[in-house]
A and B are shown apart, each in its own frame.
Chain A
Amino acid sequence: MRKTIGIAGAAGEGINTVQSFLEKNLKRQGYALISYKNYMSRVRGGFNYALITLSDDTVFAVEDKVDLLVALNSDAVKEAGTLLKQDGILLGLDVFKEVCAFSGRVIWVSEKQLKEISKIKMGIGMYAVGWILKYFGLSKGQLQGITHATWDASVQKENAQLLEFGYDAADGVYDYKRTEDRILVSGNQATALGALAAGLGFYAAYPMAPSTGIMNYLSSQEKTLGIVVEQVEDEIAAAMAAIGASTCGVRAMTGTSGGGFSLMVEALGFAAVAEVPLVMCNVQRPGPATGLPTRTEQADLSFVVNASQGEFARAVMAPIDVEDAFETSFRAFNVADQYQIPVILLTDQLLADTVKGIDRFDTSTLEVNRYLDTKDTEVYERYDFNQIEGRRRIPGLTQSLIMTDSHIHTSHGRVSETSEDTVALKHKFIKKMEALRRQAKPPLFYGDSAYETLFVCWGSTYGALREAVDLLNAKGHRIALLAFTDVYPLNEACMKPYIKPNIKVINVEGNAFNQFGKLLRLETGVAYDGTINRYDGRPFTGQWIVEAYEEGSF
């Protein structure tokens, strides 16, 4: 069973509220689900919709056509024909009947009756929540938990009546119950939780869509976990403040989108030469410049791999789904401490705003390693050129005086212009890169082991691509995929186990220039035979990839 719910309307009409009630309650009922927000960069108005795909099995991406559409206004009723599957169901207000071009089943909700129950503007939203929850097998008693912190008693009462009105009108179709311990978490939250599990103490950032969710979530946990989240004056300050905290021994992070990352670039190089561990998250949105603020793209890879003047060691990690966002964010801190380098987490709006019901994160298996030197001898070389791993002492915690410096420096951090120190630092960076290549996480393989076509992707494209592989293999194709989380540096041999004679390698990524495909060729020598790209600001879906594959002449 796989069903997709759409909630469409204008910003400010309650899409988020309806979405959140449905997600929480369907997840509690035991459904696996994943959701995505398709919204415009505005606070009020426009045409936005949220998609929730649910299943009795694991689900990796939202579908682009919906089975149930909640239309919150007349524009949404007008769009019903394009959003709904042919056998789908539309829930709309009867006053918009004349604009409806959808030929399938429609549940016309009487606006007059809604108004009799409640004067609140968007009564249909709560009606739809009741209707849909019954459709998916929830008992009437389960409606009682549906409430919102901002509702007073009278609003609560009216909303309960609207819920019940919708519930009573619906067919109960599914009755699905599972008792697994699932949590409902977004990509941005998973990134934040991974950092907190790693011992994050300080987060500095400047608000920027679609990264702000990380800061919001961390800020809401400030008191609970005794951390500090500071909204700073700009992204330069964000990165520098994180470096300052890390220099003094606290795990620190900053997050932004591409435009803010542009401002952080000088700090990126500083962290590298000063050998200060730093985790930076770039939640990509389409650029250049202001681009499409609330939409998605994977077009910052070449930028973050090459950002900054000079040469130095860095790692770039692009989580492939919500679960991986947690694991990778956690791991980024250990790697940053291990080699005292900047680690860039490269996510995107699709992953950031995807909400997924997933197995609870198991914190008992996680191991934090700070790679610190707590010895208290007076002689200490902060920048020992022969050590690429750890041995970091923190200013103020031992008797050693520590110099942290942005120049080429001596092993004690004193400004140096000698050829020997310049070369020694270069060699240290080279050794760090070699170590990072060796320990880079291999790509995830999924699909037909006797594949004739091998899709290659990175980051959030994995979910839709996995759905596409299943759809295509069901049609008789022989396809597998590789999904990369550790995208830079790459292990030169990482493709060896997968390259066979007479297979085609198809590069699939959310940009127009095939940035990862080219990086893969540069680092491993493996060239792609064809490409599937999406770069209209919208996320890949399984069906979209299937159509692109079938239309392509691969």
Chain B
Amino acid sequence: MNQIEINENPFVSEKGTTWCPGCGNFGILEALNQSLFEMGIKPQDVLMVSGIGQAAKLPHYINANGFNTLHGRALPAALGAHVANSALKVIVNSGDGDTYGEGGNHFLHNVRRNLDLVHIVHNNQVYGLTKGQGSPTTPLGQKTRLQVEGMRSDALNPVAMAVALKCSFVARSFSGNLPHLKAMIKAAMAHKGYALIDVLQPCISFNKINTFKWYKDRVYELDTSYDPTDENAAYEMALKYGDAGIPIGIIYSNPKPDFLSRIPHMKKPLVSIDRKPADIDTLLDRLT
């Protein structure tokens, strides 16, 4: 994309970032900027929600409404925001520690709710902002700045977990493959329900094992014959991770009613409902 086109994109922020040069986050930000612009969405209609961490700084680096909350807490904040105004398209950006560690409980339950949002997890298998501790996705035995003898816990496979939770849209992508990541973001945006994109990305400062090259050598795009609606096949595909290759693409697709569709009395966004004190008079009648 040339310079003139970038300037026309209203999502592109002129303000600098505090990410390390070469960070995988830049690829994700670029993919988001381009996807949203190309889909004809207005910045006013987007709410970028995040927790805390390097990935969670993203709302400050894009021109849209932003909601930079607390570590691990992006999802419950997104739940409230979405219920209040479903006309806003909610996009959550958070890291692997933020999402699967501190916010693990919220992840489980908001997938169950099938909130209509796009959740982009910047998964670099390490804690960046706190400088190099192991994350829930760091492999067993892998040495980190803190775990000098190696990780003592098994690594979490977030994609397999999401399939097991019957998450309605589960994709894996790679920050180094812009066209693929854009395709995933656009598909997730078009999906009604919880759309998880676990994005593999290098941390150039603190993860010397899972480098750009490490991912580049392993990721491969799913074959067009792959059927993401087959739950068993999806689970098998989700488990493929490591030296034998890492498939990227839409791993699982399970369309079902989203959270607000499950509340039939919600006919329009809550924020647009006018309320007045006398609304409770009928309730008082029942207390006499």
Interface residues of A, Cβ cutoff 8 Å to B: 28, 181-185, 189, 193, 196-202, 204, 221-228, 230, 232-234, 236-238, 240-252, 266-267, 270, 274, 330, 360-361, 363-364, 366, 368, 394-399, 401-407, 413-415
Contacts and interface: CB of A to CB of B under 8 A. Distances in A.
Given A244-B80, A396-B45, A250 B265 contact: no
Pick from B60, B83, B276, B280 the residue with the most CB of A within 10 Å.
Answer: B280
B109 to A, nearest CB: 4
A187 to B, nearest CB: 13
26 contacts: A181-B288, A182-B288, A184-B287, A228-B263, A237-B79, A237-B109, A240-B77, A240-B79, A241-B77, A244-B76, A245-B83, A245-B84, A245-B270, A246-B80, A247-B67, A248-B80, A248-B85, A249-B271, A250-B85, A396-B87, A396-B88, A397-B271, A401-B63, A401-B65, A401-B66, A415-B60
B interface residue count range (under 10 / 10 to 19 / 20 to 34 / 35 or more): 35 or more
Nearest to A181: B288
Contact of A404 (B66, B83, B278): B66
A185 B287 contact: yes
B279 interface: yes
A240 B76 contact: yes
Interface string B59-99: 11001111111100101111111111101100000000000
Contact of A401 (B57, B64, B266, B270): B64
Interface string B117-138: 0000000000000000000000
B281 to A, nearest CB: 6
A279 B66 CA distance: 22
Contacts of A415: 57, 60, 68
B43 interface: yes
B106 A244 contact: no
Nearest to B48: A403
Contacts of A405: 60, 66, 68
Nearest to A395: B65
B283 interface: yes
Given A244-B67, A399-B44, A401-B65, A225 B80 contact: no
B222 interface: no
Given A244-B79, A245-B270, A403 B65 contact: yes
B84 A201 contact: yes
B81 to A, nearest CB: 4
A183 B76 contact: no
A226 B266 contact: yes
Contact of A414 (B45, B60, B271, B273): B60
A371 to B, nearest CB: 16
Nearest to A266: B70
A396 B284 contact: no
Nearest to B51: A406
Given A240-B77, A361-B284, A202 B270 contact: yes
Contacts of B83: 202, 228, 230, 241, 244-245, 250
Given A228-B263, A266-B70, A401-B63, A243 B80 contact: yes
Contacts of A240: 69-70, 73, 76-77, 79-80
Contacts of A241: 76-77, 79-80, 83
B283 A360 contact: no
B80 A204 contact: yes
Given A233-B105, A247-B80, A197 B277 contact: yes
B52 interface: yes
Given A232-B76, A241-B80, A244-B80, 8 more contacts: A199-B275, A202-B84, A233-B105, A237-B105, A237-B106, A244-B49, A250-B270, A404-B68
Given A181-B288, A360-B284, A394 B271 contact: yes
B287 A183 contact: yes
A395 B277 CA distance: 25
Contacts of B108: 233
A244 B270 contact: no
B2 interface: no
Contacts of B70: 240, 266-267, 270, 406
A202 B84 CA distance: 8
B77 A363 contact: no
Contact of B80 (A197, A202, A233, A234): A202
A224 B88 contact: no
A396 B59 CA distance: 15
A361 to B, nearest CB: 6
A466 to B, nearest CB: 24
A341 B87 CA distance: 26
Contacts of B80: 202, 204, 240-248, 252
B225 interface: no
Contact of A403 (B66, B87, B287): B66
B85 A198 contact: no
B84 A249 contact: yes
B47 interface: yes
B77 A244 contact: yes
